[in-house]
Structure 1
Amino acid sequence: MFLRTLSRLLLLSCLDLLAHESPGAQARKPPSAAKSLAWGPGLEANVVLPARFFYVQAVDSSGRNFTSSPGEKTFEVKIVSAVEQLTRIWIQVLDRQDGSFLVRYRMYATYTNVHIHILLKNKHVAKSPFFLKGPVYHEGCDCPQTSGSVWEADMHCPQSFPQIDRDMALFDSVDPDRNAQEIPQRFGQRQSLCHYTVKDNKVYVKTFGEHVGFRIFMDSILLSLTRKVRLPDVEFFVNLGDWPLEKRKPTEKIHPIFSWCGSNNTRDIVMPTYDLTESVLETMGRVSLDMLSVQANTGPTWPQKNATAFWRGRDSRQERLELVKLSRAHPDMIDAAFTNFFFFKHDESLYGPLVKHVSFFDFFKYKYQINIDGTVAAYRLPYLLGGDSVVLKQESSYYEHFYNELQPWEHYIPIRADLRDLLEKIQWAREHDKEVRKIALAGQQFARSHLMGDRIFCYYYKLLQEYSKLQVTEPKIRKGMELVEQPSDDLFPCSCHRKRPKDEL
């Protein structure tokens, strides 16, 4: 808890300094190795993530935090094993341009003991070197913590998540036997579903519908979780489509359906989106956009950003067409264009021409980011919040797992669903730069504390745990289910030191 508390205090301190300092103000003294700080889950052996991470805050000899970059190469990080000479660990030190650095590293093997050296001109920073007593498991190691409560404590998971509490409150109980019959009959012909059972910490699945390719995201997060912690026996259905499915009122007999997106008109149980889930699993892998990388690619400093509202995307909603029309009428206020036509191809002559794709990191050259729904909620919102711009978010009936914790005018600037007040809000933002800067920083802080990989794992675990408590019959491996195999790791196998329950032997 100390590390989380320290993290919050330091980041809030940075927010306060950034909100009040004049542009370019900075401590003149160089960073001090003794005074600088290091903290985060990547400095703890039992926090197993695909990419582990921690933070370093540059502090000068008088104890003053840096609030702008002291230089990209200020800190050097070395990670070695006390036993093995050659370590297969990829390290990146990311400069967040606010005086702090995010260090992420991906282990491709399990090591007996790990030493993390954080250096400033060959001097150890803070309490460096940090000793992670082994074995320190890598992402591919199948060695679950048998106690869920111990795992939650190691991960510093919050006691509850508001959205999970809301979703679970819809159900007095859940009957796996009844659901196994009724849900496929009701949804299985027209929708794409996965029927999962987790039994003895093994994952089984049966699919319904034609388009089931997106099951790879759910398969992957479940397998990753079972490698880290023993899950409760649980049986549930996952909707693989964009739109939430359960449209019945709470007074009717509703079925529990897990979806990546919720809406005010449906009753689905919401999970983190497949996009955010994949970015966590593939950080420092095949995915370049994630909640870690975005923090080091936030564009110019606030005063140097373009004071224009920016948007790029495809034509998946009528309001997006209206946005492009507004941009053409007011190019001095809005820069919005389509990169792809799919839904309104017959209107391409009206709303084209298409423009080239823009690197997401280049979005942050602009102060104001417009977030408009696509087919459902726009799944880019976590990354927009994590940058260094303010989000103008369309009012919407769709929501992701964290929306209910966001506050308008605190974390983002709200705009009407029909965009009628968009120009007015942009003008207001231009005239209230200090207030807008604070909103941008609060949104950024929210993303950094609520949407990182450790929180996403916690959310999935808590969701399955709370759902399992509602089951009134025993979860079963149903006819037609197949075992979802753990990926093999012949090159870097690991030995698990934990004693497994007898039913797993």
Structure 2
Amino acid sequence: MCHGVFLFVVLALLSLPCLSRGDWRPRKLTTCDLHPEIEDLMLKDTKVWGDKGITEDLVRSLHDPCPPTEVRVHACVKSQRILIKNGTVYVTNLMPVNGFGAIELIGFLVELYETSQVFQLPDVEFSYWHDDNAPAESSRTGDGWSWPYPPHGLPPLLGWSKAQQHGALLVPYSGAFRCPRDSFDSLLSSVQRISETPWEQRLQIAFGRWNIFCAWYYRGPHIMQNGKPSPCPREHYNDLYYRRPDVLLTAALNRNLTNGQMADPVSLNDQNKFKYIVSTDGWSISSKFDKYLLLGSLILKAEGLTYGFYYPAIKPFEHYVPIMYKHEDDIFEMIEWAKKYDAEAKKIAINAQRFAMRNLNRHARLCYIFRLLTELSKQMRYEVSCDRRPVCVPLVEEIKFLSKHDATSTKCRYHEVLAQYAHDDPDGKPEFSGYEELRQKHEAMPLHILFGGRR
């Protein structure tokens, strides 16, 4: 009898799947925690549809106004429509080859795919807006939202930067967080080396580097405490440098320094030698501000009207020092304050670094996307399905295509996710067998089909 039982147990064990196989994956997560103030903003923004929720005609309003003769319509060329069904992510429009090369789009697609492999995503449909700011058309009008296309309600839009009056839901600026050589993720891996530059040895100079261009809200909507409109920070601080090179090194790229040399880029890995870092916005939120948080230096941040997904959780004089807040030259007052209260300035720098490491690392960003899409899915009032979409391509195939196409192959670190998940993803084709098919669709399909036009 004992031998029979032993044989039965052995056979039962042999019939179990082998957990040491190389293709074993952990079970997808169904919960995670966010910083409470980041969560509060996300919950507030996903409730704007009220009891009516999101109907299919709202989703279609993003792409229905896009016949071949109107491809310049803003809503047609700046949004990537996405559908998620049974945990699989699909793109339901394909960008023309001259429209998909920006890391603002690529980075989010890569990060969304990784989110789908780590978390169990709900059925949901939305568009990701990959321009600098959420579309101006999505503005608040009284208790409602303006949108120029029928049915004139707010469609589900995701964007990485917006102003208070815009209706988009904020997501991480994934392209800057993960794609460049000096990405946030890359810099995060260097925090040990960065921290080896002692605070006391850092130069008491306010350092900044940028190209000169300015957001729409300067010289107008952004009013400083003295009641005057703010000048363009990147122009103004460049000019201030010539007046006070003893405390400022805030020069625009390829402009003359006081020694006659040209101001060249300085690697983020080397900027921690300065005790103070000046952050200014461009067309929208700065793609470098997230990285500055990691440097262990005091950030002097020019105030603006646009914000990113985590901005409600960062506070002036706790994580950064505001400038262009009282008046246009208050940067000098803030530098003097930082010198006088050096220990307090150091504490603010430490707070910023700690906040970034805890709340902006990759897992935290994936968690945020998962939680946002989970809340957004609760607003869906129709069955999400590829059956009613003329284009429905698994995102894994689109990312494999981007990783091989000449125009996009070097734009992001695709293989961080492809090597982990794509080779045995049941939603993909073997290796890159779908590349030629997608290339032809991107390059040759009629534009009204590319953009998911009227049906």
Q: Which TM-score band (shorter chain)?
A: 0.5 to 0.7
Can you list the C-alpha shifts for 1:348-389, whole angstroms capped at 9, x where unaligned?
A: 999x96422211121111111111111111121121111211
Residues 192 and 208, structure 1, Cα contact 8 Å, conserved in 2: no
Alignment match, 1:212: 100
Residues of 2 paired with 1:331 and 1:293: CA distance?
30
Residues of 2 paired with 1:273 and 1:393: CA distance?
18
Hey, which of these two has a bigger chunk of helix by percent? 2
Q: Percent identity?
A: 23
TM-score w.r.t. structure 1 length?
0.62
Give how far 1:429 is off: 1.1
Q: Moved runs in structure 1, 4+ residues, more than 6 A?
A: none
Work out which of the residue numbers 178, 181, 192 in structure 1 matches 2:60: 181
**Residues 1:324 and 1:195: Cα distance change in structure 2 (over 3 Å):** same
Alignment match, 1:331: 245
Alignment match, 1:345: none
Report whether the alignment pairs 1:389 with 2:294.
no
**Residues 1:295 and 1:184: Cα distance change in structure 2 (over 3 Å):** farther
Residues 276 and 290, structure 1, Cα contact 8 Å, conserved in 2: no
Alignment match, 2:47: 169
Report whether the alignment pairs 1:247 with 2:139.
yes
Secondary structure at the counterpart of residue 265 of structure 2: coil
Alignment match, 1:269: 169
**Residues 1:157 and 1:268: Cα distance change in structure 2 (over 3 Å):** closer
Report whether the alignment pairs 1:412 with 2:320.
yes
Report whether the alignment pairs 1:465 with 2:374.
yes
Work out which of the residue numbers 331, 334, 355 in structure 1 matches 2:263: 355
Residues 28 and 117, structure 2, Cα contact 8 Å, conserved in 1: no
**Residues 1:404 and 1:135: Cα distance change in structure 2 (over 3 Å):** farther
Residues of 2 paired with 1:290 and 1:275: CA distance?
14
Give how far 1:398 is off: 0.8
Work out which of the residue numbers 126, 140, 156 in structure 2 matches 1:256: 156
Alignment match, 1:307: 204
Give how far 1:158 is off: 6.0
Alignment match, 1:297: 194
Can you list the C-alpha shifts for 1:79-129, whole angstroms capped at 9, x where unaligned?
A: xxxxxxxxxxxxxxxxxxxxxxxxxxxxxxxxx9xxxxxxxxxxxxxxxxx
Coordinate RMSD, CA, aligned: 3.3
Residues of 2 paired with 1:349 and 1:413: CA distance?
26
Give how far 1:490 is off: 11
Unaligned 5+ residue runs, structure 1?
1-111, 113-133, 342-347, 497-505
Give how far 1:301 is off: 0.6
Report whether the alignment pairs 1:441 with 2:350.
yes
Residues of 2 paired with 1:395 and 1:410: CA distance?
15
Secondary structure at the counterpart of residue 293 of structure 2: helix
Aligned ranges 1:54-133 → 2 under 5 Å = none
Amino acid at match of 1:231: L
Give how far 1:334 is off: 0.5
Give how far 1:208 is off: 5.9
Alignment match, 1:483: 394
Can you list the C-alpha shifts for 1:197-230, whole angstroms capped at 9, x where unaligned?
A: 0112222111467523343222212221222232
Residues of 1 paired with 2:421 and 2:123: CA distance?
31
Report whether the alignment pairs 1:377 with 2:285.
yes
TM-score w.r.t. structure 2 length?
0.68
Amino acid at match of 2:202: K
Alignment match, 2:229: none
Can you list the C-alpha shifts for 1:151-183, whole angstroms capped at 9, x where unaligned?
A: x3xxx6568712312321322254251123212
Residues 299 and 364, structure 1, Cα contact 8 Å, conserved in 2: no
Alignment match, 1:403: 311
Residues of 1 paired with 2:117 and 2:21: CA distance?
13
Amino acid at match of 1:430: K
Secondary structure at the counterpart of residue 424 of structure 1: helix
Residues of 1 paired with 2:280 and 2:423: CA distance?
45
Can you list the C-alpha shifts for 1:395-453, whole angstroms capped at 9, x where unaligned?
A: 11111111101111111111125633111111111111111111111112211211112
Secondary structure at the counterpart of residue 61 of structure 2: helix
Residues of 2 paired with 1:395 and 1:495: CA distance?
44
Residues 272 and 296, structure 2, Cα contact 8 Å, conserved in 1: yes
- Mean CA deviation greater in 480-489 or 416-425: 480-489
Residues of 2 paired with 1:259 and 1:490: CA distance?
27
Unaligned 5+ residue runs, structure 2?
1-17, 146-152, 215-231, 401-417, 427-455
Give how far 1:143 is off: 4.2
Secondary structure at the counterpart of residue 166 of structure 1: helix
Secondary structure at the counterpart of residue 140 of structure 2: coil
Residues 234 and 468, structure 1, Cα contact 8 Å, conserved in 2: yes
Residues of 1 paired with 2:88 and 2:122: CA distance?
10
Q: Size of the alignment, in residue pairs?
A: 346
Residues of 1 paired with 2:174 and 2:394: CA distance?
21
Hey, which of these two has a bigger chunk of strand by percent? 1
Aligned ranges 1:188-207 → 2 under 5 Å = 189-190=73-74, 191-205=77-91, 206-207=93-94
Residues of 1 paired with 2:209 and 2:181: CA distance?
24
Secondary structure at the counterpart of residue 290 of structure 1: helix
Secondary structure at the counterpart of residue 175 of structure 1: coil
**Higher relative contact order (Cα pairs below 8 Å, separated by 6+ residues):** 2
Alignment match, 1:456: 365
Alignment match, 1:89: none
Give how far 1:275 is off: 3.2
